[in-house]
Chains A and B, each alone.
Chain A
Amino acid sequence: MKGRLIGLNGDTAVAFAAKQANVDVVSAYPITPQTIIVEKLAEYINNGELDAAFIPVESEHSALSAAVGASLAGARVFTATASQGLALMYEILWIAAGMRTTIVMALGNRAFSPNINIHCSHDDAYAARDTGWIEFFAENVQEAYDLTLQAFKISEDHRVLFPSIVNLDGFILTHSLEGLYVLDDKVVSDFLPPKEPYNPIDPDAPKTYGPLDLYDWYMEHKKLQDYHFNHNVPPVIKEVFEAYADISGRHYAPVKTFGLEDADVAIMILGSSAGSVRHIARQLREKGRKVGVISLTQYRPFPKEEIRKIVKNLQVIAVMDRSISFGSPGAQLYMDMAAALYNAKQKPLMFNVVYGLGGRDLTPDQIIQVYDKAEEVLKKGEVEEDQIWVGVKE
């Protein structure tokens, strides 16, 4: 582990990373649980610790709009939001990705209204999944810090040129103080030299950004974006993870697994809960139960090939979602997994578990309940209930 060990909450860690990344423009609107990020950055700037423009925009829609303008002008741009704020800027998410901006956005995962709830769900993370943004999930404050730094390097790479979201669970990570190793300023600035923009606004070489497409070119534009997103992004992510491992001693991978060398059943889960599940899995394995854990650091682009590889020897996966998609054949991660594995030669049985909505704690009891259910499915050899909910007051 390289770096200095300090204690920060998730929001502050993310702001600290953006400061070390020497961002040029911060364009953000406060919303619980991301407010500390915005406040911290304003403090850094006004105290002269960060040389950047802080645009105190009047809404999240304007936050991302201004971020798009700033990114096209060649600046290194950072923003953050959550829940309703993401929903408000939704149309611009597509534009930010389609116009190949390199914005990095921290998302303090929070539930969508109604009713208004300021605590953790993955509604906002999932809402962005179609839009063309790269998406990472942080499991703890260390990861939130590390992934923010790596996101800049990945997004700004000329082979990528897509914006990134770093997801960190609302309150659970955003407001919780954890120990983390932060790198020296010099190490970060070597890792992240000033942004080299691709085709920035240049009066000496005038270009038209954001024209209208009729039916004769829209599809081709989408195809090119899709091709770059699926082909160029994953290798660059791996490259950057490698480079970061060299400077930090911490090695990231698109997919994290635990116990899969001999597990029959596994839970798949995103975000901070992965740590909790791993803790319970460890206990169960000591008792001889063959259980495992899968979590994703890289959610978009979805690491289909890696997933197909690692599930080869599993019999049952309980895919846990901290969100629901009304009327869908399963919640969002479940649908991703089902699509990824449908055509695979070897695929386990899968069922969906809805948990933790609106900040409902995922407790050891609930986790054990899920593993029990998975083993029940294993014994029966079939999935009777596609989707169950845990932790809800029946």
Chain B
Amino acid sequence: MIRSVLSGFLKVYQRFFTLLGYGSCRYYPTCSEYAKWQLETNPNLFKALFMSILRILRCNQLFVGGIDYPKISANPSKDARFCDRPCTVRYWYVPDSRKKRWNVIKNIFSKGRS
């Protein structure tokens, strides 16, 4: 519930308010997109918020920027859902060098809801 509300705010922000400072993010995905992915995948809501705030703090000229995917700790065997028919992949969990940590990459080829 809280997640979807926050996610909704971010969507509104991305549509309108971002216009005031259009195209200033140094990263891919952008800070707002990063926060959205964190909110949608990280099992720990507070961690998701904390990581998103850290990301915004990192988004300035003192950091290089570039590609920076959300990293989450999760247990995919528990979180994964099995579908009995062809289902759309929304996020790819790519194993990180650390155990039980995953890089979250959104499937931008997905035709499903985004």
Mutual binders A and B: no
Q: Which residues of A are interface residues toward B (Cβ below 8 A)? A: none
Q: Which residues of B are interface residues toward A (Cβ below 8 A)? A: none
